Amino acid sequence: MKKILVIHGPNLNLLGQREPKIYGRVTLDAINSELKKIAKIRKASLVIKQSNHEGEIVDLIGKAKNKFNAILINPAAYTHTSVAIRDALAASGILTIEVHLSNIYSREEFRHKSLISPVVKGTIMGFGAKSYVLGLQALLDLLDV
């Protein structure tokens, strides 16, 4: 069975209440349930983590080697700042897809740069909660399950 690690970065625990005009009304629990449903149908296993702490995310990625076949990550605000998360992903060599609820290029200029995108297989953004679904489906297709 293929194993996928889903990582939600800072403030994504607040989805549903947080800036709903940008991020929608869907909660993180609802997103996670949808992802679990898809994984079950495709017979893959999911481990889902949310963290507001950069070092914790670095540790999760570091420990994922030889344990997970792929990572689905929304690095949230760390997308634009974290050399450490980028380096952890590059070092892990694990197949990774980056997702964002919003289209970071249609927002403030400081969001226009992702430090993560150059080290991942691909990035899906701008489709709200659906970005996660599309990201997971793409990973499952790439893993051939």
Catalytic residue numbers, as ranges: 23, 100
Site for ligand DQA, residues 14 to 73, rule: CB under 6 A: none
Examine residue 74 and tell whether it contacts ligand DQA (CB under 6 A).
yes
Q: Which amino acid is located at 136 in the chain? A: L
The minimum distance between CB 80 and ligand DQA, in angstroms, equals 6
> Do 9 and 78 contact (CB within 8 A), yes or no?
yes
Nearer Cβ to ligand DQA, position 44 or 75? 75
- Number of residues lying near ligand DQA (CB under 6 A): 10
In Å, how far are 26, 72, 107 from 32, measured between CA atoms?
Answer: 10, 12, 25
Measured between alpha carbons, how far is residue 41 from residues 21, 37, 145 in Å?
Answer: 32, 6, 10
What's the min distance (Å) between Cβ of 35 and ligand DQA? Answer: 14
Question: Is residue 13 within the footprint of ligand DQA (CB under 6 A)?
Answer: no
> What is the footprint of ligand DQA within residues 96-135 (CB under 6 A)?
100-102, 104, 111
Q: Which of 50, 51, 69, 79 binds ligand DQA (CB under 6 A)?
A: 79
Task: Specify whether the CB–CB gap between 100 and 131 falls below 8 A.
Answer: yes
Instruction: Give the whole-angstrom CA distance, residue 85 versus residue 75.
Output: 8
Q: Specify the residue, 11 or 137, whose C-beta has the smaller distance to ligand DQA.
A: 11
Cβ(100)–Cβ(78) below 8 Å:
no
Interface residue list for ligand DQA (CB under 6 A): 11, 74, 76-77, 79, 100-102, 104, 111
